[in-house]
Amino acid sequence: MLNTLSLPTIVIYMKKQLLIIISCMTIHVIAHAQNADSLMLRALFNETMSHSGAYENLRVLCKEIGPRLSGSANAEKAVQTTYEMMKRAGADTVYKQPCMVPRWERGSKESGFVMLHDGSKRMLKLCALGNAVSTSKKGLHAEVVEVRSFGQLDSIGAIGISGKIVFFNFPMNPNYLHTFRAYGESGVSRWNGPSQAARYGAVGAMVRSLSSNTDAYPHTGVLGYNDSFPKIPAIAISTMDAEWLSTQISNHHIKDVWFKTSCTMLSDAPSFNVIGEIRGTEHPEEIITIGGHLDSWDLGEGAHDDGAGCMQTIEMLRSFKALHLNPKRTIRFVMYMNEENGGRGGDAYLAGAKKNNENHLFAIESDAGGFSPRGFSLSVSPQQYAAVQSWLPLLAPYEIDRISQGGSGSDIENLSEIGAALAGLRPDSQRYFDVHHAATDVFESVSKRELDLGSFAMAALVYLVDRHGL
């Protein structure tokens, strides 16, 4: 056939044949790479699910140490304990990164009640909000006014608010499938509410607990005082009490409210992030960071928030070492301190990265509970997002292929300043706010299998980023 064709036609024909050969070779290489990745992910899955130490490590953290509020003795015990855990897991190096943290103490147990016009009273399930000031020794006694939005607060103004306790009744929207969206919307009442109430002369603030369901447990969390206004005592009440109180206010049955807290803010205290590393074999100067925060609120044991994320991180270190998986890039495993009421650990990590002029390629945090993983949220460029999408066939067999653009983790979000691509592990969120910041966040609320699945999910994504870049 070629003998009957002109020379230009032959050249064109040969080029087409060469392109076909190259395309076939490319497809073969890609298929081979995907098969190698698939086999490694299966090995990581089997190793994690069969030999994980995360659940036992979590038991130690929750039961032998307990709640770990920044600056507390328990927080310092957790620093040393996780330092030893990372050494046993096989890190090439483990070290402590200093940071100064706020030291807030709750003091003696809070109490409070609602007095009705008929002379009866109802005791409240309540707790002080984190970083709040206390009442006087006699407690705080005043009339209460309910608001359901900041717009309503503004419309009532000082005439209706001065000298009173403001009750912020901002329920989490049940119509959102993703409960973190509802938390973000309603959470402004806890963070900004007390100062906005003080702006109009309020003497105290009560916030409906940020919980998806109606229960009898108050949920704490940090508030943010605005220095332009007086700092007033602030508490959270259970969603059950919030529903009852709202009904009684609507029916004009409430006379006044009394509550007493004894919390205090002390001087900043020294603490540490705990960091372990596996050094990269080909590009050690490129850093991948994985982690969770070591501190927790003081009402429960910090099992889901965020003992789970810390133990998943250490388990990933163990599984990589167990499989002799030598990453191309340096992987850091970080236990951040002070996520809950200051963010100082994340700040210290960024400051260290800037000081050392480090190249941070990617960071992922697990801080959404130890429930079954569903996928990842990403704060990345469109090109990087497309790269992660190309891995979905590898992630789909493990049902961790739901990805969305936007969101990572509080401790790592500032790493975007130095060019890092960011991700957050996204477990099923439907039960998270049943335990979040409450006394119910205990070791018994965590499933071993779900905890291990989350550890594997992070390991899978980190493996793919390390192998292929981003």
> From CA 266, how far away is CA 469, in angstroms rounded?
45
Token pair listed for 235 = 């508490």
- Respond yes or no on whether the N-terminal peptide bond of residue 241 is cis (omega within 30° of 0): no
Do residues 294 and 310 make contact, with C-beta atoms less than 8 angstroms apart? yes
The residue assigned the tokens 């960024």 is 350
Q: How would you class 352 by CB atoms within 10 Å of its CB: exposed for 0-12, middle for 13-18, buried for 19 or more?
A: middle
Query: What is the SS3 assignment for the chain?
Result: CHHHCCHHHHHHHHHHHHHHHHHHHHHHHHHHHHHHHHHHHHHHHHHHHHHCCHHHHHHHHHHHHCCCCCCCHHHHHHHHHHHHHHHHHCCCEEEEEEEEEEEEECCCCCEEEEEECCCCEEECCEEECECCCCCCCCCEEECEEEECCHHHHHHHHHHHHCCCEEEECCCCCCCCCCHHHHHHHHCHHHHHHHHHHHHCCCCEEEEECCCCCCCCCCCCCECCCCCCCCCCCEEEECHHHHHHHHHHHHCCCEEEEEEECCCEEEEEEEEEEEEEEECCCCEEEEEEEEEEECCCCCCCCCHHHHHHHHHHHHHHHHHHHHCCCCCCEEEEEEEECCCCCCCHHHHHHHHHHHHCCCEEEEEEECCCCCCCEEEEEEECCHHHHHHHHCCHHHHHHHCCCEEEECCCCCCCHHHHHHCCEEEEEEECCCCHHHHCCCCCCCHHHCCHHHHHHHHHHHHHHHHHHHHHCC
> Would residue 339 show up in a list of annotated catalytic residues for this protein?
yes
Name which of 291, 469, 286 is nearest 390 in CA terms.
469
Active-site position among 47, 76, 277, 339: 339
How does strand 165-168 pair with strand 204-208? parallel
The residues carrying an active-site annotation are 339
